[in-house]
């Protein structure tokens, strides 16, 4: 499933940008790292649930960061619809 994130032409990385994308209704899938801070995970999951956007929580911050081609871990990322 992380392959979708790697292959996506348009994506956002980082909690701030992902939350903006969720609120704007621009994202079709959100990845939330299972090792991210609990407060951030709850906030992201609640926002996704409110907008009906599916979430994948099967990956680590490191895996999400690598899938987005950045040198650091990322708590979240999203694929733009």
- Residue 29's pLDDT is 97
Cα–Cα dist 63/81, whole Å: 22
Instruction: Detail the DSSP E strand segments found in 1-81.
Output: 11-13, 27-32, 55-56, 76-80
Per-residue model confidence (pLDDT) at position 42? 96
Domains of the chain: 2-80 (3.30.1330.30)
Predicted local confidence at residue 2, as pLDDT: 85
Q: What is the pLDDT along the chain (81 residues), one digit of tens a residue?
A: 789 999 999 999 999 999 999 999 999 999 999 999 999 999 999 999 999 999 999 999 999 999 999 999 999 999 999
**pLDDT at res. 1:** 73
């Amino acid at each position: 499933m992380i392959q979708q994130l790697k292959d996506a032409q348009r994506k956002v990385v980082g909690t701030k940008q992902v939350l903006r994308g969720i609120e704007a209704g621009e994202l079709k899938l959100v990845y939330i790292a299972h090792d991210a801070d609990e407060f951030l995970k709850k906030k992201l999951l609640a926002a996704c649930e409110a907008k009906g956007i599916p979430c994948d929580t099967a990956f680590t911050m490191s895996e999400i960061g690598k899938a987005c081609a950045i040198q650091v871990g990322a708590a979240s990322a999203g694929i733009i619809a």
